[in-house]
Amino acid sequence: MGHDGRMKRVGSIVKKSVFSWRATVAGLAGGMLLIASASAQDACGLCAKQVVINSELASCFLDQYDQFAKASSDAIVVDLSGCASRGIVEALPSPNKAPAEPDMQFIVSRPQLACLKKQLETPGVVLDPSATIELDSCK
């Protein structure tokens, strides 16, 4: 009887560990499906809703657009920190309202990347001292 009792305990431990392993795998698979579903719906939680940019950064962005567009992920990191000139003194802001500080780094989705390019290429767009570009307006 002592031997059978130990075998039942070992069998129950094995069954419990297999069950918990299966539950863990099922939970992970379910989580991955939720993540895939969210990204498929273009729900980029880290993506910017708007970008503040000036003409110098806009020109740099457009020059590098092909490199950004080649990114393999759906969320694209745009880093314009190497574009800002260091030697030029900015014009003094008007006393009424200071211009918004341009965004040097931001994350956008593929549709937002194309939207930003389209808006920056719009004839007559005013970017100086800075402009706020809404990234969800191109739908």
User: Is residue 81 domain-resident?
Assistant: yes
User: Is residue 15 domain-resident?
Assistant: yes
pLDDT digit string, tens, across residues 82-93: 987 654 445 555
Strand partners of residue 78:
106
pTM: 0.63
Q: How many domains does the chain have?
A: 2
Query: Which amino acid, one-letter code, is at 59?
Result: S
The helix/strand/coil state of 69 is helix
- The answer on 125 and 84 residing in a single domain is yes
Q: Give the H or E element holding residue 75.
A: strand 75-79
Angle, vertex CA 74, rays to CA 68 and CA 75, nearest 5: 70
Asked whether the bond before 95 is cis by omega within 30 degrees of 0, the reply is no
DSSP 123: T
Check whether 118 has a pLDDT greater than 90.
yes
- The answer on 122 and 80 residing in a single domain is yes
CB contact set of 19 (below 8 Å; sequence gap of 6+)? none
User: Is residue 139 domain-resident?
Assistant: no
- The answer on 70 and 125 residing in a single domain is yes
**What is the domain extent for residue 2?**
1-41
pLDDT digit string, tens, across residues 21-70: 455 444 444 444 444 434 444 468 899 999 999 999 999 999 999 999 99
Structure tokens at 138: 């191109």
At 56 the pLDDT is 95
- The answer on 59 and 115 residing in a single domain is yes
User: Is residue 31 domain-resident?
Assistant: yes
- The answer on 87 and 19 residing in a single domain is no
